[in-house]
Amino acid sequence: MNTLPPDAAVLPSLKGRIETNAALGPLTWFRVGGPAEYLVKPASAADLAQFLRALPGDVQVTVIGAASNLIVRDGGIAGVVIRLARGFSAVTVEADGIVCGAAALDATVAEHAAAAGLGGLEFLCGIPGSIGGAVAMNAGAYGSDVAACLDWAEIVTRTGEQVRLPAADLHLSYRHSNLPAGAVVTRVRLRATPGDARLIASRMAEIREARGATQPVRARTGGSTFANPPGMKAWELIDGAGCRGLKRGGAQVSELHCNFLLNTGEATAADLEGLGEEVRRRVAAATGVTLDWEIKRVGQPTGRPEVVA
């Protein structure tokens, strides 16, 4: 992919903001990674659409959300990085569902539903990240997932078309959706069922308590590192391969839940990714199972990630 000259003036016009050589590490939950050549924050879906229509097709475009399940490599990301912000965070409560912008946090959507006495979305309070990312990867936990409640998703395609897709068109499966390549989710509708607000709130409290007791929620971490293989739990395979607490530089496999990687304070993206690859190697050697990354890794490394000795 081509990159652009170091002058944001060459980009199409935008009502939102464009930052050049923008730091991405502070935006990620791991707090690591290099800069974006251009960080684009559109003001609205229409603003995004006109920007992408005018952007040359050979310019690399990367979309990030709350960056809770993301490792930005140390060399940063060339081209345009799109991050939806204020103009995409509205949440509207309807009689039997929620319409929300893609930048709305999963937990915020769950809270709006609970306050309105709408059930079926409680699981979202246990998933870090934003709704756009949840749709893109069919996020799920605590007995449900986005596939169980999504009515439709509005997207902007890489060529700048605004389209509303019914959930069936996304062919949602375990941690996967068939979004068109380069598409940006901008708004969605989630089905919900009227219920007892007290019971809904109680279920959310149970989820939060369970998450706090079993996951390193106060650490510099991401979501689950690896997807669960069919009929198995990734954490059990990692634990069985002797990887609990394993370290590489400032990165460590969590001792509380070993399907989480931690930045203990001084980790680089290469430390985290290299540690993850070492975990995959050890699990494959011990069990014959190859773990698939659930955390996305984007951008350019500054060098080849080493494996743990």
Identify whether 175 is a catalytic site residue: yes
181, exposed or middle or buried, with CB in 10 Å at 0-12, 13-18, 19+?
Answer: exposed
Q: Is 294 a catalytic residue?
A: yes
Q: How far apart are CA 236 and CA 220, in angstroms?
A: 22
Residue position matching structure tokens 């949602």: 172
Give the orientation angle of helix 197-214 with respect to helix 106-115, to 10 degrees.
Answer: 150
Catalytic residue among 31, 53, 158, 175, which? Answer: 175
C-beta of residue 112 within 8 angstroms of C-beta of residue 206: no
| The two structure tokens encoding residue 120 | 């079926």
Establish whether 94 is a catalytic residue.
no
Distance CA 90, CA 17 (A): 19
- Catalytic residue (choose from 189, 224, 273, 282): 224
SS3 track for 205-221 = HHHHHHHHHHCCCCCEE
Phi, psi of 146 (to 5 degrees): -60, -35
> Reduced to 3 states, what is the DSSP secondary structure of residue 260?
coil
CB 132 within 8 A of CB 103: yes
What are phi and psi for residue 301, nearest 5 degrees? -75, 160
| Residues recognised as catalytic | 175, 224, 294
